Amino acid sequence: MRIYAIAVYLFLYVPIGIIVLFSFNAGRHASELRGLSVQWYGKALSNPFVGDAFFTSLVVALSVAILSSLMGTAAALALQRLKGTMRVLFDGLIYVSVMIPGIVIGIATLVALVTVFDFLNPLLASIWPEGVKPPKLHMGYASVIAAHTLFTMSLVIILVRARIAGMDRALIEASMDLYATPWRTFYQVTLPQIYPAILAGFLLSFTFSFDDFIISFFVAGANTTLPIYIFASIRRGITPEVNAIGTMVLAVSLFLLMSAQFFLRARTYR
Amino acid sequence: MKELSKPNRWLTAVLLAPTTLWFLFMLILPLIVILIFSFGERAAVGGYGGGFTFEHYLNLPARLKAFQNTMTFAPIGTLLCLLVAYPLAYYLALKVDRRYKLVLLVLVIVPFWTSLLIRTYAWIYLLGGRGIPSLLELIGFEGVRLINTPGAVMIGIVYGYLPLMVFPIFVSLEKLDRSLLEASSDLGGSPFKTFMQITLPLSMPGIATGCMLVFILLMGEFLIPAFLGGGKIFFIGNALVDLFLQSRNWPFGSAISVTLVVIMLVTVSLYMRMTLRSNTGRDESLM
């Protein structure tokens, strides 16, 4: 039993280890290990395409994380007051948006947004003052952020709601009995209890957005996120540079995940 | 529950407004647009050309191979995931010392949250000519080809989705009342019988959840066949990328997406019915 478990852990981690190992390859060929060096990290970091892609991914992931933790927390707080049909409807939508494969979200968003833009762009052009170049709506940052947020917002709702369910209701009632305003109750009683879940949701949203390939592939327009760049590079052939970029992406996600775990478990150590 | 006062209702509405907008414009509207597109004509330059036709649905057999591949690899891959995940989940839930349990569980889940793209391309290395085949050559098996085979895609699937299967099974085994296991062995039940009559039935909800999650995600998979199937093994996801991003046949692509979503909905409702039935079944047996 134990040996089996060890074998499964090896199965899970050896491939990741291989990428990390080969990213320190001193040789030029991706599949031949010739000594160790960090030269490919230097190459990757000085590559302007990588820099641009990294910046795009960072902006997108940060916006997604901020938007989803705000909207998700607000919705989770409101949903506990909701009953009946509306509650069932929202629960259904939350689960659909978490379960639906990324590819369907990507396609549906692409098709819908392009249709809406094709309709709006001539309209904008016609009402725009003469001589000024009218704005042209197109796929880009906003469409990726909006599409990622659909999934991550629901994720935050689920995390925060679980935390609210485990919360001590007596504290809220006590606060109300002591004539605290609802805002003060929220700020001094509810928020301190649910913030670990919000933080964990923030970090998981960031990680999801930063790592997502398939949704961005459809809706990023001319923008290239880091996973899209990696995908295109692999198509051209694996190089130690791709491994170095991959290792850095893995390191970012691992760091964020560990922090998320820490906040989710914070309750246990109180 | 008290009736909500008026300001409270306003507050609820305001708090829910952004989420509602998102669901409307990023989920419901896009799905409706896809449904409309799937009945439309194809425009000359690609994209959507209006009209109403069933042509694209009748044309689905043109991508039969992608459907066949998806509908074979997804269930078999799900089953393989289950077979690999169950013993691990069992070990973690019932055999491991409490102190290490959390760490070991986190170690299983962490890969799922790291980039599937990077984890999958690692297997291009391992299965490629200089990876496992060259090791096999050392021990005398020559000319073994692994990459771009059905086996490679299967390995990628199990590797990618194993964490998603382990977690729900672990949760259901963890909740299991251990006194039942002791009672069974006290009454002379063999370990095998205890497993078949107590552990396995009580972990069914976890198995069902894990299988459904993995199956649904596999139905929409694109990366694993793209990297490890080498263009020979392609799923519906690969056909969709081709239709939307390369050949720009949006109405046909929409028809395929709608079909995919319908298959998923059928699966989920079958699952709901199954789990509901098994729950009522247990309630009755307890009475």
pLDDT digits (tens, 9 = 90+) for A93-125: 998 888 888 999 999 999 899 888 888 888 888
Residue A15, chain B, CB below 8 Å: the answer is yes
If you search the block for the tokens 């957005």, which residue do you land on? A209
Residue A99 at interface with chain B, using a CB cutoff of 8 Å:
yes
Q: What is the largest CA-CA distance in chain A?
A: 76
The model's pTM is 0.87
pLDDT in tens, A32-88: 777 778 888 888 888 899 999 999 999 999 999 999 999 999 999 999 888 888 889
Q: CA-based diameter of chain B, in Å? A: 79
A153 touches chain B (CB under 8 A): yes
CB contact under 8 A, A75 and B27: no
Beta-bridged to residue A25, according to DSSP, are A36
pLDDT at A206 over 90: yes
Is residue B121 within 8 A of residue B227, CB to CB? The reply is yes
- Across the interface, do A218 and B244 touch by the CB < 8 Å criterion? yes
Cβ separation A93–B122 shorter than 8 A: no
Q: Is the pLDDT of residue B142 over 90?
A: no
Q: Residues 6 or more apart from A113 whose CB is under 8 A from it?
A: A139, A143, A219, B30
Q: Is A149 exposed, middle or buried (0-12, 13-18, 19+ CB in 10 A)?
A: buried
At residue A153, the 3 state secondary structure works out as: helix
Nearest CA in chain A to B96: A2
By the 8 A CB rule, do A234 and A242 touch? yes
A102 touching B (Cβ < 8 Å)? yes
CA atoms of B231 and B238, how far apart (whole Å): 9
| pLDDT grade for B286, boundaries at 50, 70 and 90 | very low
Is the pLDDT at B1 greater than 80, yes or no? Answer: no
Q: What is the mean pLDDT of residues B131-145?
A: 75
Structure ipTM = 0.86
Q: Does A151 touch chain B (CB under 8 A)?
A: no
* Residue B84 or residue A254, greater confidence: B84
More confident residue, B173 or A135: B173
DSSP string, A17-40: HHHHHHHTB-SSSTTS--SB-SHH
- In this predicted model, what pLDDT tens digit does every residue of A1-46 receive, in sequence order? 889 999 999 999 999 998 888 888 877 776 677 777 888 888 888 8
Residue A131 Cα, gap to closest chain B Cα (Å): 30
Q: What are the chain B neighbours of A191 within 8 Å (beta carbons)?
A: none
Closest in B1, B18, B240 to A103, CB measured:
B240
Question: Which residues in B lie closer than 8 A to residue A18 (C-beta atoms)?
Answer: 122, 125-126
CA B162 to chain A, closest CA, distance in angstroms equals: 9
| Residues in Cβ contact with A4 at an 8 Å cutoff, skipping those fewer than 6 apart | B87, B88, B91
A211·B130 Cβ contact <8 A: no
Burial (0-12, 13-18, 19+ Cβ within 10 Å), B200 = middle
The residue extents of the domains of chain A are 48-269
Interval A167-185: pLDDT, tens: 777 887 888 788 878 788 8
Q: Is the pLDDT of residue B210 over 80?
A: yes
Task: Give me the residue from A12, A19, A217 closest to B162, CB to CB.
Answer: A12
Based on its alpha-carbon atoms, the radius of gyration of chain B, rounded to whole angstroms, reads 24
d(CA A84, CA B142): 65
Cα distance between residue A126 and residue B55, in whole Å: 36
Report the top-level CATH class of B64-286.
mainly alpha
Any CB–CB contact under 8 A between A149 and chain B? yes
* Nearest residue in B to A68, CA atom: B19
Q: Is B139 on the interface with A (CB under 8 A)?
A: no
Neighbours of B247 (CB within 10 A): 11
CA dihedral A178, A181, A183, A189 (to 10 degrees): 0
Find the closest chain B residue to A268 by CA distance: B102
Q: How far apart are CA B150 and CA B20, in angstroms?
A: 43
Q: Domain A48-269 adopts which CATH fold?
A: MetI-like fold (1.10.3720)
Mutation pick from A10, A12, A88 vs chain B, by most beta carbons of B within 10 Å, is A12
